[in-house]
Each structure stands twice: as structure tokens, then as C-alpha cells.
Structure 1
């Protein structure tokens, strides 16, 4: 079996590397750009770090889309804003491969321009992977992958085949009928996570556990996402042990409790001070790279507008991210500046 990864950054490298490591009969091609892929191409291997001894895995690294020809499965893990360009370049070589989007955001329309709906499977992953140096992918938390058929189930066979292939990663993999509901749930979790990234705040210990941030930023974002989804008739789906926006909103409430709050907060800090969650937005802003915030939280804003309402808190995250992009790499706001900007929404 040949498996190719289109846009092999942190997530794509880890998925492809784990598949190859767990099933050496699979040929894995990592397609991407920059020093990371160049290092993999030159060495013929990728280094995988995680809750295991470091692994050296033989894979093919390339920046030539023609090298994915003959693939059985193509995993799309490119940043959302690069989807249209990447799939257009790869389309002549996809042939009859099943194409699986494991991305943030909703990129269905861009992919369907080049891939038949029977062979296109949409999904998400909830994990935390970084590239600490070129040629290396580091897993911070064990991952979960959710895939599923479209509403008409025209791609049901492809969804099942993709699920079986991704089980080779060793992640928890679910096939979910309402995959759209899972994808919107993931967007909603990203919303406060991206807001914490604007100030380089540890999402749990310095943002969620901080009463001022939680009150002015976290809770309004969560409430706004739930309101927009309710207005649009989106039925959220929850997978066991996968982050869930309603569960996060409930966690905010526990932290507000005079009795439970200190206990819950102390436990969270013990865990997440040692293993902080790093959102992709933070990594992109730190490196001065273009972000996909317009394609992720922008989807919530557009969903609101399509249904006659607004999403000013999610729009604020987008606006502040753009400001940091314009400032230059690593020029973040302070937590207090973010809180102040969000409080201004209430006074409009």
C-alpha cells in the first residue's frame, strides 16, 4: 500500500511516520516544502518523538507532487489557506486514490473541485504535535482521529477504508456518522485556544485558570460558538475522550465555584504546566508564518452571517491574529491587552 501526505508539517509527518513504523509494508511519501522536508528527503527518514523511545522511521520526503502518483490513500494535512493551491498541484497524480482531509477548518469546496465526492473523506484529529527541529516530529499528547461519510453516504466505502488505514497510526480512530458535528466541535475548542495563543498564554494554566481571562474571553467565546451553532441548526457530535466545547464550558463553571475552583485549578496546573497544549496558531505566529485563522474561526463568523446573526468575539480573535501577523514574528499581546480588547466588545 502506498500512502502519501499532502502538506507534511507536524501532524502529517507524525501520521505518515507512525503508519510506516507500525506497518513497514506501507510505502509512505511526505510531500511538503522547506527545511523540514528537505532534511527528510536527504536522510530518507524521520525522527518521531513521543511517549516512547525516539524512533527513526524510513520514509520518502519530496517537494515534487508527481511522487504521490500511484497512491492508495492521500492524507491532506496542509494548512487550510494553502488547500486550493496544494490540491490543484497534486490533482494530476491522485488518480483513483482515496483523499482524506485531516485539517482544521472546512475545505470541502476546494477539495471537491479536484476529487470525486465518492473518494473524498473529511475528518479531524485532536492531538498536539510540534516540529522541534527539521526532520523531527514530537507528539505531546496521544491523538484521536475522527472520520466519517458525507450526509448522502456516497463515500461510505472510502470512509471505512480510510478509517482502517489510519488505525495503523496507533491513535484512537473513530468512524462517526455526524462527522460535520465533530468538525464544528473542534472549531469551537480551537476558538478559546487560539485566543490564549494571542498572548503566548498556557491555555489551561494561564488562560482558562485565570478568572479575568475566563470571564472576558473564554466564556464569551464558548457561549458565542454554541449560540451560532444552535441558530444554524448544527448538531454537535461528541466522541468519548475528545475535547468538547460543552464540556469545556462546564469546566469554566467548575473553576468559578468557590469550593471546587481551587481544587480543580490546582490539579489542572499540575498536569498542564508540565505538558502545555500548543495550538497551531501559536506556532505559526511565533515563526511569522501565515495563519489559517480565516479558514477556521472565519468559518464560525461566516456561519453566523449566513444565519442572520454575528460572532464578534470570534471575529476579535481573527483581528488580533492579523495584527500580530502584521507586527512580525513573535510580537504577541500581553494577556491583559487581550482581556481589555475583548471587554471593549461589551461596550460597543
Structure 2
């Protein structure tokens, strides 16, 4: 079996290499660009770090789209803003491959321009992977992948085949009929996570556990997402052990409790000070890369507009992210500055 990864950054590299490591009969091609892929191409392997002894895995790194020809499955992990260009570039070489998107945004329309709907499977992954140096991928904790058929079920066979292939990663894999509800749930979790990233704040210990941030930023974002989804008729779905925006909103409430708050907060800090959650927005802003915020939280804003309402809190995260992009790599706001900007929404 030949498996190719389109846009092999942190997550794509990890998924492809884990498949190869767990099933050496699979040929794995990592398609991308930059020093990371150049290092893999030159060495013929990638180093995997995680909850296991560090190991090297043989894979093919390439920047040549033709190298994915004759693939049985193509994983799309490219940043959302690059989806249209990336899929158009590899379209001549896709053949009859099953194409699986495990991206953050809703890129269905761009992908369907070049992939038949019965061969396209949409999904999400919830994990935390970084590239500490070119040629290396580091897994902070074992992740979850959720895939599912489209509403019409025309791609059901492809979804089942993709699920079986991705089980080779060793991740928790779920095939979910309401994959749209899972994807919107993930967007909603990203919303406060991205807001914390604007100030380089540890999502749990320095943002969620901070009463001022939680009141001005976290709870308004969660409430806004839930309101927009209800207005749009989106039925959220969740998978066991996968983050859920409704559970996060309930966690905010526990932290507000005079009795439970200190206990819950102390426990959270013990866990997440050692293992902080890093969102992709933070990594992109730190490195001065273009972000995909318009394709992630922008989807919530557009969903609201399509149903006659607004999402000013999510729009604020987008606007602040763009301000940091214009400032330059790593020039973040302080937490207090983010809080102040969100308080202006309430005063409008």
C-alpha cells in the first residue's frame, strides 16, 4: 500500500511515519517543502519522539508532486489557506486514491474541485505534535482521529477504508456518522485556545484558570460558539476523551465556584504546567508564518452571518491574530491587552 501526505508538517509527518513504523510494508511519501522536508529527503528517514524511546523511521521526503502518483490513500494536512493551491498541484497524480482531510478548517469546497465526492473523506485529529528541529516530529500525547461519511453517504466505503488504514497510526480512531458535528466542536475548542495563543498564555493554567481572562474572553467565546451553532441548527457530536466545547464551558463554571474552583484549578495546573497544550496558531505566530485563522474561526463568523447573526468575539480573535502577523514573528500581546480588547466588545 502506498500512502502519501500532502503538506507534511508536524501532524502529517507524525501520522505518515507512524503508519510506516507500525506497518513496514506500507510505502510512505511525505510531500512538503522547507528545511523539514529537505532534511527527511536527504536522510531518507524521520526521527519520532513521543511516549516511547526515540526512533528513526524510513520514509520518502519530497517536494515533487509527481511522487505521490499511484497512491492508495492521500492524507491532506496542509494549512487550510494553502488547500486550494496544494490540491490543484497534485490533482494530475491523484488517480483513484482516497483523499482524507484531517485539517482544522472546512475545506470541502476547495477539495471537491479536484476530488470526486465518493473518494473524499473529511475528518479531524486532536493531538499535539511539534517539529522541534527539521527532520524530527515530537508527539506530546497520543491523539484521536475522527472520520466519517458525508451526509449523503456516497463516500461510506472510502470512509471505512480510510479508518482501517489510519488505525495503523496507533491513534484512537473513530468513524462517526455526524462528522460535521465533531468538526464544528473542534473549531469551537480552538476558539478560546487561539485566544490564549495571542498572549503566549498556557491555555489551561494562565488563561482558563485566570478569572479575568475566563470572564472576559473564554466564556464569551464558548457561549458565542454555542449560540451560533444552535442558530444554524448544527448538531454537535463528541467522541469519548476528545475535547468538547460544552464540557469546557462547564469547566469554566467549576472554576468560578468558591468551593470547587481552587481544587479544580490546582489539579489542572499540576497537569498542564508539565504538559502545556500548544495550538497551531501559536506556533505559526511565533515563527512569523501566515495563519489559517480565517479558515478556522472565520468559518464560525461566516456561519453566523449566513444565519442572520454575528460572532464578534471570534472576529476579535481573527483581528488580533492579523495584528500580530503584521507586527512580525513572536510579537504577541500581553494577556491583559487581550482582556482589554475583548472588554470593548461588551461596551459596544
Above 0.5 in TM-score?
A: yes
Shift of 1:141: 1.3
Shift of 1:292: 0.0
| CA distance in 2 between partners of 1:313 and 1:166 (Å) | 35
Shift of 1:44: 0.2
TM-score, normalising length from structure 2? Answer: 1.00
Shift of 1:335: 0.1
Shift of 1:331: 0.1
Encode CA deviations 1:212-249: one digit per residue, 9 max, x unaligned: 00000000000000000000000000100000000000
Shift of 1:209: 0.2
| CA distance in 2 between partners of 1:62 and 1:201 (Å) | 35
Encode CA deviations 1:7-32: one digit per residue, 9 max, x unaligned: 00000000000000000000000000
Instruction: Indicate the SS of the match to 1:184.
Output: helix
Instruction: Indicate the SS of the match to 2:183.
Output: helix
| CA distance in 2 between partners of 1:272 and 1:162 (Å) | 33
* RMSD value, Cα: 0.3
Encode CA deviations 1:64-117: one digit per residue, 9 max, x unaligned: 000000000000000000000000000000000000000001000000000000
Mapping for residues 158-237 of structure 1, pairs under 5 Å: 158-237=158-237
| CA distance in 2 between partners of 1:314 and 1:79 (Å) | 19
| CA distance in 1 between partners of 2:168 and 2:55 (Å) | 16
| CA distance in 2 between partners of 1:86 and 1:141 (Å) | 28
Encode CA deviations 1:276-332: one digit per residue, 9 max, x unaligned: 000000000000000000000000000000000000000000000000000000000
Encode CA deviations 1:20-62: one digit per residue, 9 max, x unaligned: 0000000000000000000000000000100000010000000
| CA distance in 2 between partners of 1:250 and 1:126 (Å) | 20
* Structure 1 residue ranges without an equivalent (≥5): none
Instruction: Indicate the SS of the match to 1:195.
Output: helix
| CA distance in 2 between partners of 1:258 and 1:127 (Å) | 32
| CA distance in 2 between partners of 1:21 and 1:267 (Å) | 35
Instruction: Indicate the SS of the match to 2:90.
Output: helix
* Structure 2 residue ranges without an equivalent (≥5): none
Match of 1:134 in 2: 134
Match of 2:305 in 1: 305
Shift of 1:180: 0.1
Match of 1:125 in 2: 125
TM-score, normalising length from structure 1? Answer: 1.00
Moved over 6 A (4+): none
Encode CA deviations 1:146-204: one digit per residue, 9 max, x unaligned: 00000000000000000000000000000000000000000000000000000000000
Encode CA deviations 1:107-160: one digit per residue, 9 max, x unaligned: 000000000000000000000000000000000111000000000000000000
| CA distance in 2 between partners of 1:305 and 1:44 (Å) | 48
| CA distance in 2 between partners of 1:65 and 1:184 (Å) | 31
| CA distance in 2 between partners of 1:277 and 1:139 (Å) | 11
Mapping for residues 44-83 of structure 1, pairs under 5 Å: 44-83=44-83
